[in-house]
Every structure is written in structure tokens, then in C-alpha cells.
A and B are shown apart, each in its own frame.
Chain A
């Protein structure tokens, strides 16, 4: 059996990759993909603990996270399409109207 700490370390690395992706990339498409990476890391954590504790609860929570991720992707990509129609670009630095 693989130790739980291995899974937690992997999930930590995946989450950090997502955080860095969100902050470094300026293309909205890649930013959304990085958010998916972070959600995947959370799922991995939950399921690893579910396995360790012998409790199904973690898997159930993962089902809900996957549902939220699907909704988030649909809405995020719809916003991306509207942004592209408005600006002709999906670069986040071009959408800076709210920046004082």
C-alpha cells in the first residue's frame, strides 16, 4: 500500500502548479485550465484520505467537486467567449477596466 503522505505530497505539488499557472499566465484559457488542476489536487487529497480512513465520505465530496468543476468550466468558458466578442482578445491584461 502506498503511504498517504505520498499522495498528499503529489497533491500539494499539483496544487502549487495550479496556483503558479493562475498567477503567471495571462491567457484566460490557460488560467481556467490551471484552476482545473487545483480542483484535481483537492479531489486527490479527499480520495487519499477516504482510502486511509476507510470512509466513503471523501469520495462523495469528490463527486460534488467534479460537478462544481464542470459548472465552473462551462461558465468560465462562456465568460471567455463574451470577453473575446467584446475585446477581440482573451488576454487578462486587456480586461483591466476595474483597475482604478
Chain B
């Protein structure tokens, strides 16, 4: 077993334990902590996939921003006073059936197409340098963050700006929804 494969199994176990914890835990605080575990595991997998910039963003945005948002909300809604949720909701049977259905369908696809998937990009696949180098006016720049940055600002400039407008809209929407009384807004 190569070190990369070993690391993959360890991180996959971390991610799945976190995911199962999110779904199974009764207290939202515990769910949030398992979600954090899952995020960190996914960030590790990103490093393994030579997406170092995305791993840093994952830690900063998910483990930093979104997790703090969740924990503050848990603090605000006083979950301890909520009625205990029964372990099995009437919908649970349907949920498990649907989950098993999607799993069977996609798993069947994955197994059936495994050889084609493995042959994907067989030429340049094993070359991690390709993800970290971009040609700019004949000059080569190196490093994953730099490559992602250049690509983001050159080829994907319009989507990038649209995303910033989207975040502004989300921010204003969150402020308006979070206001104490809706009447005073308009």
C-alpha cells in the first residue's frame, strides 16, 4: 500500500465518521462538531488531490466561517428546550429506501463504468504539475494557488464577479430575514 493510498483510507474514514455523526447525533451541537470533522477530512483529501488552494479555502470558509455561523445559531435558538426528536421519524423508511435507491443506481454506474473512468485522461493524469502550471504570455507560473488565481481572473472573470454580487445579495437577504420585526423593514 502506497503512502497516498493509506492516507486516503484514513481520511475517508474520518470523512465518513463525521458524516454519520452529523446524521445520527441527537444534539445539534454534536452534529456540528462531527460536521467539522468531516470538513477537515475533506480538506485533507483536497491536499491529496493536489488542490492545495481549495484545501485552504475549505478550512477557512467551511471550518471557519460556516461552522461559526452554525454554532452561533445553535446558541441563539436554545436547542435544549426543544422537544426531543424521536429516533425514527415516520419518513425514515422512505428516506432509507430513497438513499439505497440512489446508492444502487450510482454505484451500479460507477462499477459498470469503472474501466472507462480509470482510462480517463490517461495521458496527463499522473502529472500533478499540470494542475499547478499555467502558461502566461510564454512564461510559466508555478503553484496551485497562483494557477487557480490566474484562471479565475482570466478565463472565469464574469462568473467570479457574478459570485460577488450573489454574496452581496445573500448578505442583504440574511440581514433582512434576521431583523427582529419584519414590519419595520419596509
CB-CB nearest in chain A for B178? A78
How far apart sit A3 and B8, CA to CA, in the bound complex (Å)? 10
User: B129 → chain A, closest Cβ, in Å?
Assistant: 9
Q: Are A63 and B148 in contact (CB under 8 A)?
A: yes
Contact-size category for A? 35 or more
Residue in chain B with minimal CB distance to A14: B19
CA distance A24 to B152 in the complex (A): 38
Give every chain A residue within 8 A of B102 (Cβ-Cβ).
15-16, 19
B96 / chain A contacts, CB cutoff of 8 Å = 20, 24
A-B interface pairs (CB < 8 A), number: 240
Query: A68 CA to B155 CA in the complex, in Å?
Result: 19
Docked Cα-Cα span, A90 to B20, in Å, equals 21
The answer to whether A60 touches B156 (Cβ under 8 A) is yes
B69 touches A77 (CB 8 A): yes
Determine whether the beta carbon of A1 is less than 8 Å from that of B170.
no
Taking CB atoms, residues of chain A closer than 8 Å to B94 are: 23
Most chain A beta-carbon contacts within 10 A, residue among B92, B120, B127, B170: B170
The yes or no answer to B143 lying at the interface (CB within 8 A) is no
A24 touches which one: B12, B20, B95, B124 (CB < 8 A)?
B95
B77: chain A residues within 8 A (beta carbon): 29, 80-81, 84, 90
**Given A1-B126, A37-B35, A82-B177, A20 and B23 contact (CB-CB distance below 8 Å):** yes
Instruction: Contact check, B98 vs A37: say whether CB atoms are below 8 A apart.
Output: no
Q: Give A16 to B100 CA distance when docked, in angstroms.
A: 8
**A37-B38, A56-B131, A74-B171 known; A12 and B110 CB under 8 Å?**
yes
Could you tell me the distance in whole angstroms from the C-beta of A32 to the nearest C-beta in chain B? 8
A91 vs B99: C-alpha distance in the bound complex, in angstroms?
Answer: 22
Contact B54 A29 (CB under 8 A): no
> Is the Cβ of B170 less than 8 Å from the Cβ of A71?
yes
Q: Report Cα–Cα, A71/B170, bound state, in Å.
A: 5
Contact B15 A67 (CB under 8 A): no
Which residues does chain B contribute within 8 Å of A90, judged by CB atoms?
77, 79, 82
27 contacts between A and B (CB under 8 A): A1-B4, A2-B48, A9-B110, A10-B12, A13-B19, A17-B20, A23-B98, A23-B99, A24-B89, A24-B91, A24-B96, A29-B31, A51-B49, A52-B120, A53-B124, A54-B121, A54-B127, A56-B134, A59-B148, A62-B51, A62-B54, A64-B159, A67-B163, A70-B66, A74-B69, A74-B174, A75-B174
Residues of chain A whose beta carbon lies under 8 Å from any beta carbon of chain B: 1-10, 12-21, 23-27, 29-30, 32-34, 36-37, 40, 43-44, 47-57, 59-60, 62-64, 66-75, 77-82, 84-85, 89-91
